[in-house]
Amino acid sequence: MKNCNMVIDIGNTHIVMGFYSGGTIVCSWRLSTDKSRTEDEYYTIIKSLAVENEIDFNRINKAVISSVVPELTRLFSHLNQKYIKCPLQVVDAYTDLGLKYPVKDPGFIGSDLVVNAFSALKKYKTNCIICDFGTATTIQLVSADGTFYGTIISPGVITSAKNLFDSAALLSNIQLQTPETLLGTNTKDALLSGIITGNAIMLDGFVQALKKKYEKLGNIKTIATGGIAELICRNSKEIDVIDKMLTLDGLKMICQQ
């Protein structure tokens, strides 16, 4: 295949990798985050997937990592140095992306939030509320001039559901899906309404409150991303677009800078 760039988004639950050639996604895959794996074990997995997708590590021009797991940031940096040997950039709030922060030291801001804010501005070129459904649910506001106003963090949908399922044996076999009713007449429907509809209502409430508080900004586009975004946003009235590639596309654009 042609030369490509490699992007890696390391989260607490999953690691998502993507390969872009000429600005177009060639392939991507999702791995479970496992801090017990060594760099050699991760490389074996990645190499196998690369071979399946005809990715030649010798033709990777650059790699960019976004990570909220410091141990794995170091591990993947070593993995790249040992096996892939391409230029590597690790993104954080100090990376020059044209964003402005209302705090003296933005170092506490997660790189996933930074990348999503940058990506939303580049892709949509307007004020954006970004809702990311991951291990935690995050809702952030970034203005068209690149000001990062801040973030709301709440327990993630799947994280919360798993904790509930683990605590109640009778709930363990329920699969997350769109609820059929608002008021359930059995445990399954009642639970789905609470988890799925409840999170959609929470999301809409926060978005409405943010739009009211920051109405001086003018029009604000609301973007949802993350693996479970579609399931939650079917019940939302405030989401304008679902963009599952927001983070990887942001990393790709950082690669191209």
* Residues labelled as active-site residues: 112
Q: Which residues, 6+ apart, have CB-to-CB distance to 12 below 8 Å?
A: 33, 68, 69, 134, 135
Tell which residue, 99, 137, 155, 147, has the closest CA to residue 224.
137
Q: Which residues does 224 contact at the CB level (< 8 Å), separation at least 6?
A: 131, 132, 133, 232, 233, 236, 239, 241, 242, 243
The distance from CA 115 to its chain's CA centroid, rounded to whole angstroms, is 9
Q: How far is CA 226 from CA 166, 173, 233, 248, 256, in A?
A: 23, 23, 11, 11, 23
Strands 14-21 and 24-32: antiparallel
Nearest to 10 by CA among 82, 100, 80: 80
Name residues whose C-beta falls within 8 Å of residue 174's C-beta, 6 or more positions apart in sequence: 165, 187, 188, 191, 192
CA–CA separation, 172 and 191 (whole Å): 12
Distance (Å, whole) CA 104 – CA 48 = 44
CB 142, CB 130: distance < 8 Å: yes
